[in-house]
Structure formats: C-alpha cells, structure tokens
Amino acid sequence: MVVLSELREGSSPSSSTHGHSISTCGPRSSTQDHRYDVFLSFRGVDTRLSFTNYLYEALIDANINTFLDDEEVETGEDLKPELESAIKASRASIIVLSKNYASSTWCLDELVLILEQRMTSNHIVIPIFYHVEPTHVRKLQSSFRDAMSKHKQKMDEETDENKRSQWAQKIDRWTKALIKVANLKGNDINGRFETEFIEEIVKNIYRRLHLPLGSIRPLLIGMDDSINFITSWLKDGSSHTADILTISGIGGIGKTSLAKHVYGLYSREFQTSSFIEDITRKCDGKFNGLLDLQKQLCYEISKPSSIHVYDVSVNTSKIENALARKKVFLVLDDISTLVQLDALLGSKGFHPGTKVIITTKDRWLTESCVLFKTNIKPKHAKHFLEGLNWTESRKLFCFHAFMCNHPKAGFEEVLDKLVKYCQGLPLALEVLGKSLHNRDVGYWEGCMEGLKKEVSSPVNNVLRMSFDSLLSKNDKELFKHIACFFVGTDRYVSETILEACDINTRTGITNLIDRCLLSIGRNNELKMHQLVQEMGRFVVGQESPDKPWKRSRVWYHKESFRVLKQKKGKGNLLGLALDMRMLEKEKLGTSFELKTDALISRNLTSR
C-alpha cells in the first residue's frame, strides 16, 4: 500500500474541515496514464468517520486503487496542487454530496475540477446523494442554499475589488457545478442499509471501469484461518494434494461467502472455472432444475454446443469429459443429495491440477458419491466451519448495527445479550444487527424480550424477528407469497401477478429488502437466503403441520397433487404450486390412482 498519511485498522483520523487523508490502496495502475482508479470527494465533518471511511475500506478490500485526502485545511485556501494532480490522474471520481458539502470551498473547487475533467476526458463521475435530495442540490435549496448564502456574504464583506471579483467568479462556477452534478445519474442512500449501498457502489465502479467482478470480496470477519487453509490447499501442486475439498457446516455459518471469496481470488489461475450457486434451492420443486445446472456447468467449462440434451446421464458424460481434459476450478455450492453430486461430478476423475470445492450441510455426503466408489478415487480434504468466537461475533454484530467495530455508549449490556443469543452464527448476527441499525436502546431491549418468548430453534427465532417486525399485514403476506413461490422469479413478473392478487408490491418489496428478508439479483430476480426462505415456509407450515389443505399456501408438488385430488383447501388456500410437466408425466399413474381411490371409496360405503 502506498501511503503518505497511513490509516491503520482501529485508528481514528482526526476530524478536519474537509476530512481527507492522502492515501492510496494498492500499487496497481489501471492504465499507464492513470495512477488511480477512483478519487474520493467528500465533506469530512459529515462522513469521514462513518460512510466515507467504510466506502474507502470497501474499495481497498476490492483492490480498487483509491485516492483519499485527509489533511486539515483552513477555509478559503486554494486547492492543493497534489489534489488537482490526483483528480487528473484518476479514471473516476465518487462525489459524496452530504448536508455540509457545499459549505467547504475545497469541496466545491474539487467538484469544479472533476466536472472539467469529465468534459475533457473519459473521466467517470458518480454522485452519491448522502441523506440529501438531488433537487436540493440542483435548485440550491435547504443546506445548499444556506452554504451558498454564506459564501455570497463573505464576497459582500470583501473590500478588495479584485478579491470580490474572484469570489463572484468562483460562486458562479460552484453554482453551475452543483446544478450539473445534480443532473447526473447518481445513487441515493435514503432508506437503505449502508453496507448494501456500499457494495452496490463498488460493483458499479467495477462495471464502469471494466474490472473483473470476481475480485469483489464479501465481508468475512473471523474467517482468516479458513481462508489460509483453503489457499494452502489450492496452491499445493504436489501429487499428494487433494482434488476435492468439502466445506461443511450448518446453514448461515458462512460456507457460501467463504467459497465466493476464495473463488474470486483464484479462479483466474485455472484454465477454466465455474461457480454453481444455491444448488439445493434451484433443484427443489423444479422439474428441470438439475438439467439447468448441468447446462450451466457444461457451458462454463467446455465449448458451447448447439445440440440441446434433455437427459441427465448424457449431460453428466459431457461434464466428465470436460473435467478430464482441462485444469478446472469448480465450486458446487449447497449440495444436499447424492443425485446432485453424481450428476455434476460424474465418475471418471479429473485432469491433474483440477480443484473442486463442495459446500454442504451434510459433512459426510461427499464420501458416498459414485466418484469415491471407483478405482479413480480422488483425494479428499474436509473443512468444517464452526461459529464465530465471542470477539468476532461482537465485531460482526457491531459492524451491521453501528457501522463500526465497537458499540455505542449505553448499548453494551443488551448488545452482549443479543450476541450471546446468536451463538456465533454469522447470518443471525448480520440479520439481527441490520434490523437494529439506528434503533434506540428500548427497541433493542424489546427485541431481546421477544426472542426469549419464542419456543422454536434459536436460528429460526433470529430470522423470524425481522418478519415479526413488519408492521403491515400486506408485507407479511407478500413475504410468505415470495418465500413459497417467487424466489428466483423476475421481479416485474412477480409484481404483475401479486398486484392482481391485491398485494401492494411497490412499497412491500422495499420494506422486505430493508428488513434483510429479500434482495434483488443481478438479473432482476427476487433473491432470498435459503434460511430466510425456510423460515417463511415454516411460518406457513405452522398454520397446519399435518394437513396441507388447511394452510394458506402449498408449494410441494406432491402435497399439491394430494390437495387437488382430494378436492380440499377451497376455503383457506391462497396459492398452490403445481408443475404441469410433472402432471403430464404422471398422467397414466394419476388416472390409475384416482380410479383405485374411487373403487376403494365405493367398497367402504357399501359395507
């Protein structure tokens, strides 16, 4: 790291008028003409110790070469030459427009120079409206009006005509720059979690600068030992190295995040690579789920073929041949059955140097796959993920609840109770921490009391707290609909269907996202963590554990057949999932069963 004024982990840079420290992350140059990827412009008194600091650290973690300045300056001083040089040497600028941004002449001078750079080059400008309205910036209203009024007042107080003229010229440039930046497409943080907002900004920068998305690493607190273990396993090229690594642990423990992290770091070191995510959910209840995953894997590790194959065994053979020909890095995420594992790995072994990571809740599943029953038995390593220790749990909870590593004063006692309750489960710490962000101590204590009254599993209790905190019946019904039927479905398709059922999706989906119960995928699909989806289905299942026709929703196809065949559920049923291709496939068998049931019914009646 090239550093002129180094910020060490855990240190707190001094507050300043503008709030920058000169530092950059990474010696990498994006091109010969650009020393930096990103220049950060912000008002230190507003965001230096909070949002901008977290954004800067996220850019560092993503290996984005970032310039940030943190030196105390006096109001009225000219922009330092090194800042002008840094702007011109950057490929992009992120401008954090906060409440007091326009009160700093340095910020305004930076803004003018950044927009000039945009006009004369391909410089990318990304405005961030941090708790301010774009229209307030554009029309110089609210705090921006007050700031510009103070600048004009200083101009009027100036007795030197030349200096007054210089003030007038500057104010004119600043005003035009504020109007221009407000008209650019930007990002508005209002009503969103800062962690998710920052992740979106980082991804946007990667996309705009054409950097590889695989380099973005998730927040992994307490996983250094696991990362080092897997890195050592991947880099061991000896004949004694293992070909398969199974990462196991309970749901929400961080298996997928860990695998994504390592995949992002090392996937480019192999001839080809593939990350098949969320396998169990994609196969669950879908007629062609496994076939779709096989097609994805074939496409990513072998040459695309125009011949469409609809047979699992034929696709398995194609996967086997591809794995035998190339050095592949393959991650199979959330495997739950031998059928899935055998269909995606086959039985013929791998090309030398190939590495396969399997994440699963069943730590013994891999041992039973067909590959281990052949003479070409691959070497197998195992890594079991356990919960975070107390210090790590507290740090992760604080990050999501307070956006820092330590609790606010007065929260310590209830914080420790909540951290203890989560039992080191990263997902529980994240979900509960985010749900308590910006809440007062009384709300936290009420949340703790609510957790004590629950009788089901601790993990489910933690996840359910976000559901129970939904204020409207509409949002709760929307959540249950999505959990049962619409995960993985295009957002607009889902909205069209649900709006026709008198469900308000416009505000409802936003509320679910805010409660960490829902997210929107890269392809605009509705996404829900598997444990959250299971919790939602558990809530519906509790309506009638043994009689599915008395529930409001039925999503398992076998239960759907049963409800329809017995002509039940007319009063309670709001939604039912039925794969018509399965119905067509079992048409003869279903017809026979219906006739048999009718015959049995007549015999019982005659007796």
Full strand arrangement of the beta sheet holding 36-41: 23-24, 66-68, 36-41, 90-97, 124-129, 187-188
Among 6, 9, 82, 110, the one annotated catalytic: 110
Helix pair 161-182, 142-157: axis angle to 10 deg: 170
How many Å is the Cα radius of gyration of the chain?
A: 29
What DSSP string describes 522-570?
TTSBEE--HHHHHHHHHHHHTT-SS-GGGSSEE-SHHHHHHHHHTT--T
Beta bridge partners of 364: none
284: phi then psi, degrees, rounded to nearest 5:
-70, 115
Active site residue 116: no
For residue 344, which phi and psi values (nearest 5 degrees)? -100, -10
Strands of 244-248's sheet in order across? 272-276, 328-335, 355-360, 244-248, 380-384
In what helix (H) or strand (E) does residue 124 lie, and over which residues does it extend? strand 124-129
Helix, strand or coil, per DSSP, at residue 276: strand
Residue type, 226: S
CA distances from 562 to 286, 480, 525, 548 (A): 18, 21, 30, 9
Nearest in space to 290 (alpha carbons), one of 319, 258, 265 = 319
Distance between CA atoms of residues 40 and 87, nearest Å: 9
Residue 248: name the closest of 365, 386, 361, 368 by CA.
361
Partners of residue 575 on adjacent β-strands? 553
| Contacts (Cβ under 8 Å, ≥6 apart) of 29 | 35, 65
Q: Which residues pair with 128 in a beta bridge?
A: 96, 187
Catalytically active residues are 110
